Structures are given as structure tokens and as C-alpha cells.
Amino acid sequence: MILQVALDLTDVEQAISIAEKAARGGAHWLEVGTPLIKKEGMRAVELLKRHFPDRKIVADLKTMDTGALEVEMAARHGADVVSILGVADDKTIKDAVDVARKYDIRIMVDLIGVKDKVERAKELEKMGVHYILVHTGIDEQVQGKTPLEDLGKVVKAVKVPVAVAGGLNLETIPKVIELGATIIIVGGAITKAKNPEETTRRIIDLFWGEYMLTIRKAVGDIVDHISQVAESLKIEQVRGMVDAMIGANKIFIYGAGRSGLVGKAFAMRLMHLDFNVYVVGETITPAFEPGDLLIAISGSGETRTIVDAAEIAKKEGGKVVAITSYANSTLGKIANIVVEIPGRTKTDIPTDYIARQMLTKYKWIAPMGTLFEDSTMVFLDGIIALLMATFQKTEKDMRRKHATLE
């Protein structure tokens, strides 16, 4: 969750003073409110960004027309996020998104005044907006309205982060957290408080209960998955990998991205055990020759660079061990030995895996390839434990080969 403080004031110096206190209290984003922009213009955006370069600055323009022009103005003056009205014409919103992409900033669309908020939210998501704001205005609040009912519906209807604003305070914030808001916008409860810093800190403390639940849930899910992987390991696959390693002249490890980092950690431990091991891509990596072994790590089994390396290794007369979630992938079919490390559901196929990573459509509790990479790292540590026992190596023996030039 993100705390955005709405500086709906008319004096920029007062706004900066309150923003300083809110920032010390832990506020993540600072909003240059609509009244402040109307009074001071883009100068207010520029001054806030200059004073708070380590905070996201939101320009609450509530743009209704000329989306491209106004977003560009805000971006050039330091805004990180610009608000557009949801009742604006689709072209206004699409133009705003296009300009935001050019300047690498974000668009938040405010649903204030929109009748069917759920349907409009779905339309806005398709247009590529970054955040959707469920907002109950001050005049609506006077009539006893709140954003709570609409918030829950919108959160369920879209995948983009949903912001919420409208008279929020220490009493109502726990409810919007429960309903799934990602960005919580607080104005008067902070800007009119006797001690804005303390009030901000108390709001952030409310967030941390949810933060810890999220962390614990993620850790628990990952640990449960790794336990399932350990139980599902096939003895013939693991035996094939270990036998190939013991018989190899040289061992080459190759993985891309985070899988590559897992591979490097494994290579370091093999070096500690006196294996002749190299990481593909390093400047000191020698030629691959007959009798050598390539351990290729790819969750999808379709990473082009990894597949190419496996084809070369086979052509040069060596062996390939594939560590992947998909035995029938291109890499799996090339390899002499496949070790399957489940990282996705049984219904997934490699092409879906890659598409979801590119589009960031993944299970939030285990982002992108986390389940595969974490499971592979722990599995490879298990292989190291086996090799230590096989060759009667102790931690003291391994420590002798640990890096000293650090």
C-alpha cells in the first residue's frame, strides 16, 4: 500500500511545510492538490519536486480536455503521476497515456462524477491507465456518501492498482485496506492535524499490519511450494544429473536473469568443492569440449540464449542437463538429462509462461519466476550437500577455497 498525502491548500509555502512533516512521518507520495495548482500553477509541482526528490509527486490536474498538453506540462515540471477525470472523452485519456509513456510517468484516472464506476474502470484499464481512483468528493461527503461501496466493486473488477480518496482518517483507513485499496489518499486528516508528522506515522503503522501479513503469506506459500518440489523429485533425474557432474571434465552453468544468479551461486559452491566449473558468459570461460557438461537453467525451457547454448554443447560432443519446469520444452528435448522443478500450474505451457512474465500477469504472491527460481536454488543446495557427503568434504575444507580478495 502507498500513502498519498493530498495537499489541498492554496499557499505553496504552507503546503511544503506540511509535506515536510508528512514525509518525516513516512508518506510515500505527495499530491499537489487541485486548489494549489489553480492558485500557483505548475510552479507548485516544480517546487514540491525540488524539495522532495525522493518522493513521487502527484499533480492532481483533474484534466477534462487536452490530455496530451496538460500531462506534458506536468511531466516537464517534475510530476511523476498526473490525474485525469474519468468522465473525460476517451481520446483525452488515451492521449494522456501516450504522453505519459513518452515521459515515463503514470496516469491516475479519477472516477469522481462517473455514474457506472465499475464499467468505466474496466474501459480505463483497457486504455492502459496506470491507476484508477475511487473518489468521493467533499460535496458528496457532506451528503453522507463514502467511497467504500464503490471501492470494493472496482477492486474486484480490474487488475490495475486502485486508489481511494474521500474523507479518510485513522478510523476508516482499516476498512479501505480490507477492501483492497493499493493507494490510500489522505488530505484533511493530515493537513489539518495538530501534528501532521505523528498522524502520518500512525497511518503508516496501520499499513504495517497488512504488510506483515503479505510477507508472511508470501514466505509461507514459497516454502510450501519448495516442500512439494522436494517430495516430487524423481530419483532417476537427480541421479542422472549427479552422475553426469561427477564424470564431466568441465562443468558449465548457464541461466538468464534470476535463474542466472541461482546458477552463479551453484557454480561458486562447486568451486569450493574443487569442481572444474565455469559460468557461461564470464570472460574467463574456456571453450566447451567433448566430455564437458552444460547445466542449463530455464523455467520455461524456451529461453532462446539457453536453448542455443544447449544446441552448441550437444554439437561439440558434450552433455546437457536441463533444469526446467517443462520436460517437453525445446530445452528439455535437447537435453540428455532433465530435472523437473515445478514452478507453475499443470495447465501452464511454456509460451504462456513467457507471455505472462512480459505482461506481468502472474500470481502476485510469488511474482514472475519466483517459485521456479527459489525452488531451483534450494534444490541445488541439496545437490551440494550430497556432493559434500560423497566426497567427504567439510565446511572447513570448502572455506579454504572461499574468496579472500573481497
Q: Is 57 left (phi over 0), alpha (psi -120 to 50) or beta?
A: beta
Answer yes or no: are the C-beta atoms of 324 and 333 closer than 8 Å: no
Q: Which residue has the cell 498526473?
A: 82
- List, in sequence order, the alpha helices (H) in 158-257: 173-178, 188-191, 196-232, 235-247
What is the distance between the terminal CA atoms of the chain, rounded to a whole angstrom?
Answer: 38
Catalytic residue among 197, 373, 395, 406: 373
| Segment holding 106, helix H or strand E | strand 106-110
For residue 245, give Cα distances in angstroms to 138, 258, 270.
69, 22, 10
In order, the DSSP letters of 236-247 are HHHHHHHHHHHH
Q: Which residue has the cell 467511497?
A: 147
Adjacent-strand bridge partners of 165: 135, 185
Q: Which residue has the cell 564470464?
A: 282
Q: How far apart are CA 344 and CA 329, in angstroms?
A: 14
Reduced to 3 states, what is the DSSP secondary structure of residue 33? coil
Answer yes or no: are the C-beta atoms of 42 and 77 closer than 8 Å: yes
For residue 117, what is its C-alpha cell? 464506476
Reduced to 3 states, what is the DSSP secondary structure of residue 109? strand
| Segment holding 97, helix H or strand E | helix 90-103
Q: What is the CA radius of gyration of the chain?
A: 27
For residue 316, what is its C-alpha cell? 561439440
Maximum Cα–Cα distance across the chain: 80
| Segment holding 340, helix H or strand E | strand 337-340
| Segment holding 61, helix H or strand E | strand 56-63
Q: How far apart are CA 391 and CA 380, in angstroms?
A: 16
Known catalytic residue: 406? no
Q: Which residues are catalytic?
A: 373
